[in-house]
Amino acid sequence: MDKKEVAALIQRYLNGECTPEEAAKVEATYNRVLLKRPDGISDKDYDVIRRESLDYIRDRKNPSLHRNQSKPSWTFVRIAAAAVVLITLAFGAYYYINLADDPGEQLALDGADVDPGGNRATLTLADGTTIDLSADQTGIIVAGKGVTYQDGSAVADGDTEDNGLLTLSTPIGGQYQITLSDGTKVWLNAGTTLTYPSRFTGLTRDVQIVGEAFFHVASDQNKPFRVNSGKQQITVLGTQFNVQAYEDESAIRTTLVEGSVEIAAAGKKLKLVPGEQAVLDNKGMTKSGVDVEAATAWKHGYFKFDGDLKSIMAQISRWYDVEVVFDNNVDTSLELMGRISRDKKLNDILRMFGEVDDSLKFNVKGRRLSVMR
């Protein structure tokens, strides 16, 4: 391809008009360039590409989550386009496109592949009855005196009396959605438990979460919605936010997408504005600006990595239901950056990681993933 053809390809990508094969080419090159400095690119130029991309992510305050999901996210296409322009100008279209076309080194992977997670959950009724929810459905609705799937078919009736507490749980490798009786929508990530009443009858709407969930709270100015997670309580009237409160994590992270929330914990209260994240750990509670898209990517069906190997492998462990073990000589602080669908098999993810450092090796035996050098 010459430069005009490259430009045309990128424009089609920005417009969401690429074929799946063309889009994969652009995204593969984006990952390669930002994950690992290709031979021939100077440290200085590579740092410029990474800095421009990271600055753009971190400066975003109000990302749109109501986009056409058949098109790439606005954040991604802007960053991809910036990287493409820099690379094309500096190293020529021929080099760039050959980098995209060339499958490159294929990471050597030992062991069998692992399928991604899917729609799996259990519902526990007020009387203790447990129901395995359909993997063919994406979510349930609490309505009237019973619970239905989103297509209207029945899940359970009876034993959902007023004030009766129900529990929706996703296993490791599972996800599910629920619409509560007030119209609030909740998306549960893997390894998550949501406890909620069949109907909200008091002065507040209280639920409890362990794990990770995205909330789109129905507005009710007279009845605050409260999310209890570990040692913190989030109070809202109507908003969108993500809570990550896994028991095996050292911190609870609350990320605000839209509206406002107040968080009470450790004898302190914080108010967030869109684009901010509160972190509660053993040092107390703080807040800062954050990449909202990365924090909520799971809800939209993809991983957006921008952190250290240890924290990223925790995401992989939960979604693919594997135990991750690091050899002693593996640097778990190694930073990764990239984006990939959660529908991919595990080996596709590992190959992308291998582009960061080709000395990384992986071995999968059963449900055990070993990371080596």
**109-115+300-372: what fold?**
Phage tail protein beta-alpha-beta fold (3.55.50)
Q: Where are the domains of the chain?
A: 3-101, 109-115+300-372, 118-295
pLDDT digit string, tens, across residues 157-211: 655 555 689 999 999 999 999 999 999 999 999 999 999 999 998 899 999 999 9
**What is the sign of the dihedral through the CA atoms of 344, 345, 348 and 354?**
positive
pLDDT band at 242 (very low <50, low <70, confident <90, very high): very high
pLDDT at position 304, please? 87
- pLDDT > 70: what percent of the chain? 70
More confident residue, 37 or 124: 124
The DSSP annotation for 135-166 comes to: TT--EEEEETTEEEETTS-EEEESS--TT-EE
More confident residue, 310 or 10: 310
pTM of the model as a whole: 0.74
CB atoms within 10 A of CB 361: 17
More confident residue, 52 or 244: 244
H helix runs in the chain, sequence order: 3-14, 20-35, 43-59, 74-91, 93-101, 292-296, 309-320, 346-354
Return d(Cα 201, Cα 171) in angstroms, integer.
29
pLDDT at position 349, please? 87
Return d(Cα 168, Cα 188) in angstroms, integer.
9
Class of CATH domain 118-295:
mainly beta
Task: List the structure tokens of 84.
Answer: 């493409």
pLDDT digit string, tens, across residues 312-331: 999 999 999 999 999 988 98
pLDDT band at 89 (very low <50, low <70, confident <90, very high): very low
Q: How large is the average pLDDT for residues 36-53?
A: 57
pLDDT at position 358, please? 72
